[in-house]
A and B are shown apart, each in its own frame.
Chain A
Amino acid sequence: MTSDDKAPRKITYREAVREAIREALQKDERVFLMGEDVGRYGGCFAVSKGLLAEFGPERIRDTPLSESGFVGAGIGAALGGMRPIVEVMTVNFSLLAADQIINNASLYLYMSGGQFNVPIVIRMATGGGRQLAAQHSRSLEGWYAHIPGIKVLSPATIEDARGMLWTALEDPDPVLIFENSGLYNMEGTLAPDAGPVDIDRAYVRREGKDLTILTHSASLFKSLDAAEILARQGIDVEVIDLRTLRPLDERTFLTSIARTHRALIVDEGWRSGGISAEIAARIMEGVFYELDAPVQRLCSVEAPMPYAKHMEDAVLPQTDKIVDLVRKMVGADG
């Protein structure tokens, strides 16, 4: 609940998303939440807990496990004047609805020559790190970012978890919001008047002059941790939170790299054909002559996510690997 207190509040990422949904339901009669287990169960990740009692089953709508059917129904409802928030449990299951997202939602406006908007917001969990094995641990937000016609948001911070949803609902185009499942329990502070945030720009989360890390979602915090460690070693790293993977705000990161002259991309997705490849290419196109070192990427190992903890940790980008790579890039290891 929003509070009149002037002091920042302690809140989890999960609660921030819930607050954003609640606010949207209160603000706009056309908004409703639909998805697997969002009602009686309280949300697969407990995001929507309590909302059924507050808003009733018309607006907190449990669906069968039929992703294509209910995502498509969300698209239809958006065409019909509603503002649906559709929750797909995880990006892994969104693949069953990929036809609806990619062949319908992303195309309606264009194929109709500008006549039909699809103002749908599709939320889904993403990422590994919870020992859920390969079919629950994919990071495919970069893959969705390949598709023109949809917008792809990757909120890392509590502020963005709280603030991106309303902006997405105001957007006439289909918006996908990827919530890293490892972040739901993250606790932070939120200004009492925290509200909608822009979804058009990348943010500099830490300023530095020696190298720019470009990252998003859970890897943001590993990058910030690495930057702290590196600062103690005299290496000053700038960290950029991309926030929105489509459309990419390249101006913010190109400006940064033109100043720091080095760029490292940290992404939980895979390298081959991933969003890191796209960003690296844009750096080459935009600021090649500003670079003092080749652009580097730290991505997930190109394997399906293993179950065992030590193997899973080894697959994902980690703070120590970021530190090592940055040190190499700035020539700190001789």
Chain B
Amino acid sequence: MTTQRKGKKKAATVDRDHALHLLHAMIRIRRLEEKCAELYSAMKIRGFLHLYDGEEAVAVGVLQALTPDDAVVATYREHAHALTRGVGAGSILAEMYGKQEGCSRGRGGSMHLFDGKTRFYGGNAIVGGGLPIAVGLALADKMQQKGRVTCCFFGEGAVAEGEFHESLNLAALWQLPVLFVCENNLYAMGTALKLEHAVQDIARKAASYDVASAAVDGMDVLAVEAAAKTAAEAIRSSGTPYFLECRTYRFRAHSMYDPELYREKVEVAEWKKRCPIANFIAKMKGVGILSDGDVAAIEAEVAQEIGEAVAFAEACTWEPLEDLTRFVYSERRER
């Protein structure tokens, strides 16, 4: 491990409804991803598939801080962001099946989920590619005085890209309402943090652009939520960007193709002890907020939802091939 600072510990003050909500959101992600892996093995889902297990607290915690009017720009490991943002599990799975009822009409697949209704702007497989776009969305909001926040998720691998530096500079220079969320899971594909960054304290890089920043324990949903809310409030009141580094870990390989030769099983096992779901359940049970029955009820509800989503995706239809080139260009001009 490198020179990680510990995120500030927030007291676990949470009411029961909210605890149920957070747990439900994290379990939905975990079970959806498990189902995706299963469907991938069954060859129902093809292409690259990047799963989020272990990082649930980040998507769930951060998205608590957004309003429906805010925008989200994500990466190729974005099922969790889409799901938590409000894109239906059925629509997401249908997309991975390649069906026309999928959220991108079968043209995007796992890496390119999009949804206009929830202002979910993908789904970008170029690490760092979404950062300038988030800056531009925030610029549009600022120029139109919309008072909205654009939240941009990316991994620590993207921090090595020029676009990270260009984007932070622009956002700071132009005072734009962007919440930059770095999901630092310690591996850029299969390359460890210490092999990709001369300065491994990611949050320090944001400071060099005069962007307010914080680092948080990305395995603790309450800590992430608190940090994201602090960040979002700062952005809304000041109009300036904020950088939040969430220190997390993915329990699975980079993608389903990845033989995972680059990290030790013992390291993965150590991190699994910090499972954001199991630890949240333990903590909430410990303070008497949740019971085994609550967890079982959530699991049953989620199992039903995912089951229905699979059935929906199975029943969906293929885009007719006559529409193969539809949406390369728009069908009409504006005026």
Q: Which residues of A contact B (CB under 8 A)?
A: 32, 58, 63-64, 66, 68-82, 84, 99-100, 103-104, 108-117, 119, 148-149, 151, 170-173, 247
CB of A80 within 8 A of CB of B137, answer yes
CB of A82 within 8 A of CB of B140, answer yes
Q: Tally A-B pairs: CB < 8 A.
A: 159
7 A-B contacts (beta carbon < 8 Å): A72-B163, A76-B136, A84-B136, A111-B104, A111-B122, A112-B112, A170-B333
- Provide the bound-state CA to CA distance between A68 and B140, in Å: 17
CB of B107 within 8 A of CB of A111, answer yes
Residues of the A chain whose Cβ atoms lie less than 8 Å from the Cβ of B334: 119, 170-172
The chain A residue sitting closest to B164, CB to CB, is A69
Name B's interface SS: loop
The chain B residue sitting closest to A109, CB to CB, is B327
CB of A77 within 8 A of CB of B143, answer yes
Interface members, chain B 72-100 (any A CB < 8 Å): 73
- Provide the bound-state CA to CA distance between A236 and B104, in Å: 53
Tell me the smallest distance from the CB of B100 to a CB of chain A, in Å. Answer: 8
Residues of the B chain whose Cβ atoms lie less than 8 Å from the Cβ of A151: 329
Q: Which residues of B contact A (CB under 8 A)?
A: 71, 73, 102-108, 112, 114-116, 121-124, 126, 129, 131-141, 143-144, 150, 162-163, 166-167, 169-170, 173, 325-330, 332-335
Residues of the A chain whose Cβ atoms lie less than 8 Å from the Cβ of B102: 113
Given A73-B135, A76-B132, A77-B139, 14 extra CB contacts under 8 A = A72-B129, A72-B136, A77-B140, A79-B136, A80-B137, A80-B140, A80-B144, A99-B126, A99-B129, A103-B129, A108-B122, A112-B327, A149-B329, A170-B335
CB of A72 within 8 A of CB of B122, answer no
- Provide the bound-state CA to CA distance between A42 and B27, in Å: 56
CB of A76 within 8 A of CB of B140, answer yes
CB of B166 within 8 A of CB of A79, answer no
- Provide the bound-state CA to CA distance between A14 and B131, in Å: 33
A104-B124, A110-B327, A114-B105 known; A72+B143 contact, CB < 8 A: no
Max count, chain B CB within 10 A of own CB: residue among A103, A109, A119: A109
Residues of the A chain whose Cβ atoms lie less than 8 Å from the Cβ of B107: 110-113
Residues of the B chain whose Cβ atoms lie less than 8 Å from the Cβ of A149: 328-329
- Provide the bound-state CA to CA distance between A254 and B307, in Å: 56
User: Which of these, A63, A76, A99, A171, contacts B137 with CB under 8 Å?
Assistant: A76
- Provide the bound-state CA to CA distance between A20 and B317, in Å: 46
CB of B71 within 8 A of CB of A73, answer no
- Provide the bound-state CA to CA distance between A71 and B163, in Å: 11
Tell me the smallest distance from the CB of B144 to a CB of chain A, in Å. Answer: 6
- Provide the bound-state CA to CA distance between A118 and B135, in Å: 15
CB of A100 within 8 A of CB of B132, answer yes
The chain B residue sitting closest to A100, CB to CB, is B132
CB of A116 within 8 A of CB of B140, answer no
- Provide the bound-state CA to CA distance between A99 and B104, in Å: 21
Leading 10 A-B pairs by shortest Cβ distance:
A76-B136, A72-B132, A80-B140, A69-B166, A113-B105, A112-B114, A73-B136, A76-B133, A66-B166, A172-B330
A70-B132, A100-B132 known; A112+B169 contact, CB < 8 A: no
The chain B residue sitting closest to A196, CB to CB, is B335
CB of B135 within 8 A of CB of A117, answer no
Residues of the A chain whose Cβ atoms lie less than 8 Å from the Cβ of B132: 68-73, 75-76, 100
CB of A81 within 8 A of CB of B140, answer yes
A76-B136, A79-B133 known; A66+B114 contact, CB < 8 A: no
Residues of the B chain whose Cβ atoms lie less than 8 Å from the Cβ of A170: 333-335
CB of B333 within 8 A of CB of A79, answer no
The chain B residue sitting closest to A67, CB to CB, is B166
- Provide the bound-state CA to CA distance between A72 and B171, in Å: 12
Residues of the B chain whose Cβ atoms lie less than 8 Å from the Cβ of A99: 126, 129, 163
The chain B residue sitting closest to A64, CB to CB, is B169
A82-B144, A114-B327 known; A68+B136 contact, CB < 8 A: no
Residues of the B chain whose Cβ atoms lie less than 8 Å from the Cβ of A108: 122
Residues of the A chain whose Cβ atoms lie less than 8 Å from the Cβ of B167: 69, 72-73
CB of B114 within 8 A of CB of A73, answer no
CB of A100 within 8 A of CB of B129, answer yes
Residues of the B chain whose Cβ atoms lie less than 8 Å from the Cβ of A58: 143
CB of A115 within 8 A of CB of B115, answer yes
- Provide the bound-state CA to CA distance between A96 and B118, in Å: 31
Residues of the A chain whose Cβ atoms lie less than 8 Å from the Cβ of B332: 172
CB of B140 within 8 A of CB of A111, answer no
- Provide the bound-state CA to CA distance between A74 and B140, in Å: 9
CB of B71 within 8 A of CB of A80, answer yes
- Provide the bound-state CA to CA distance between A103 and B133, in Å: 12
CB of B136 within 8 A of CB of A78, answer yes
User: Which of these, B163, B170, B326, contacts A114 with CB under 8 Å?
Assistant: B326
The chain B residue sitting closest to A167, CB to CB, is B333
Residues of the A chain whose Cβ atoms lie less than 8 Å from the Cβ of B163: 68-69, 72, 99
